[in-house]
Structure 1
Amino acid sequence: MAEKDVRPGQLARHLGVAKETVERWITDADRVPHARTRTDASEYLGVPEEMLWPRAVKTAVKAGPDREIVSVYPYRSACPKAVWAELVEQAKQEILFAGYTNYFIFLEQPHFHLTIQRKLDQGVRVRFLLGNPESETTRAREAVEDTPLSVSTRIRIAQDNLAKVTAREGLEVRYSAEEDAANHVGLSVFRFDHDALVCTHLARLVGHDSPMLHLRKRDEHGMFDRYAEHAEELWDRAAPAR
């Protein structure tokens, strides 16, 4: 930073973090930022990532297909809220929420409808793929989960929050086709440019109890691309939400 004449506040603004956070990275070697932030910082400063955070890079060295796996979470709820916020904030081109209900993001991220509005204003494509709250698949899933907060209710919570976005014409919302609903309900894909959070749903468990992968695209036709293609196929056959 000294060689590049970059002050903590400058780097913080570029990365979208607080100045105090950058200062803690400098004074405390045990504090390591999220992988995406490390990459952005190294590119901004023009130095290899291992020069800035050698310990983190050394422990994260991977080869082969698994190098696209950034993190593994035994439960979706184990993924820090800050990870979701950071991925949304850093997305420059597209955001796709292809969970069956997607309601949780509005509960976990304060005023998320305003965040959506801001990303739309920045020119980011924002899409939500929902399950149809009135479909047979939704009713069947409700019987399987047997929880007070039903699947259809969770979908409508998401819809109510999406309705608060003022520039609705820039927001794309669709219901998955009934023939795809079973595939949709069993696998959630949340995409942020070249990062994705993929949640595979288990048996009767609701989304926050199911395991999740954080993927980052590094190869053509790798794990990221395969899950992204799955979500795009569902999206292409989906119908506009009512």
Structure 2
Amino acid sequence: MNEALRRALLRAHLTDRQLAERCGVDIKTVGRWITETGRVPHARHRWAACEALGEDEAVLWPTAAKKAIKVGPDREIISAYPYRSACPASLWRSLITKAERELTFAGYTNYFLWLEQARFGAALQRKANRGCRVRFLLGNPESDLTRSRERDENVALTLSTRIRVTLAELDKVRSQPGIDARFSDGHAHLSVFRFDDDMIVTPLLTHSVGHDAPTLHLRRHQDDGMFDRFAAHVEELWGRGTPVWGDDGNG
């Protein structure tokens, strides 16, 4: 019995049939994945299942992951996506749910999170109430850089509007200790989202919006690796940032 796969299905609220449809296989095939010890699906089916369930291959099929294990400096790269929109919302939810120490959202607007994650504000409050540090690094909607990027993007839903939506949502949870927000222009072309020792990084391309940015899922495995360098970048920007709600960060 593949207990990890069975539990992942339960957490994702998916049936065997629904997973089979997502992976393009027969329902009996999914049944064999679950019940036959040591059975490993083809790579394309493993990847489709991982996306559908918001889990890592190393969790669901550790033997297959070990065969392809990385040992070089790129071992912190778990997954790569040509567009942020290709990174499944279930992965974001899984990373948010599992985080216990730190949630840092250093996107210039962070607008998409409120659209794609159900009851996102309530989830942040629960995390902060359990001792998890929750931070948002935002672009200033009134800055010259924001206006310049708006001209580059040239879309109807402007950058400043998207920032203000996030600010309005954050204002609803600002009374919860442990949730803080600051303005910064230093991450205008690089978004970094941290979930304990996991991270999603999206470098923005010229004349493109966030959901079109190439995206990396990183996991910390070494000192001064890719993860640590991006984390240090965010910490420096946070230290130089301007509090959104005043000096105490919570009103």
TM-score (norm 1): 0.81
Q: List, as ranges, runs of 4+ consecutive aligned residues in structure 1 with deviation greater than 3 Å.
A: 15-21, 166-169
3-state SS of paired residue (2:156): coil
Is the Cα contact below 8 Å between 1:12 and 1:19 reproduced in 2? no
Is the 1:81–1:108 Cα contact (8 Å) retained in structure 2? yes
Query: 1:36 Cα shift?
Result: 8.0
- Structure 1 gaps, min length 5: 42-51
Q: Indicate whether 1:54 and 2:72 are aligned.
A: no
Q: Which residue of 1 aligns with 2:84?
A: 76
What's the % identity of the aligned pairs? 49
Equivalent in the alignment of 2:198: 195
1:35 aligns with 2:56: yes
Asked if 1:173 corresponds to 2:173, the answer is no
Contact 1:75-1:209 at 8 Å conserved across structures: yes
Change (3 A) 1:105 1:19: closer
**Structure 1 contact 120–126 (Cα < 8 Å) conserved:** yes
- Output aligned runs, 1:1-242, within 5 Å: 12=7, 26-27=34-35, 29=39, 30=41, 33=50, 34-35=55-56, 38=59, 53-59=62-68, 61-165=69-173, 167-176=175-184, 181=185, 183-242=186-245
Preserved CA contact (<8 Å) 2:129 2:176: no
State the Cα distance separating 1:164 from its structure 2 match.
2.3
CA contact 2:128–2:177 (8 Å) conserved in 1: no
What amino acid maps onto 1:35 in structure 2?
Answer: D
Change (3 A) 1:194 1:218: same
Aligned CA RMSD, in angstroms, stands at 2.8
Partner Cα separation in structure 1 for residue 95 and residue 232 of structure 2? 19
- What stretches of structure 2 of length at least 5 have no aligned partner? 17-29, 246-251
TM-score scaled to structure 2, two decimals?
Answer: 0.78
Query: Aligned partners of 2:138, 2:14: CA distance in 1, in Å?
Result: 38
| Number of residues of Structure 1 aligned to a counterpart in Structure 2 | 218
Residue in 1 aligned with 2:248?
Answer: none
- Per-residue deviation at 1:64? 1.1
The CA deviation at 1:63 is 1.8
| Alpha-carbon distance in structure 2 between the residues aligned to 1:142 and 1:232 | 26
In 1, are the aligned partners of 2:108 and 2:139 still within 8 Å (CA)? yes
Offset, 1:16 = 5.4
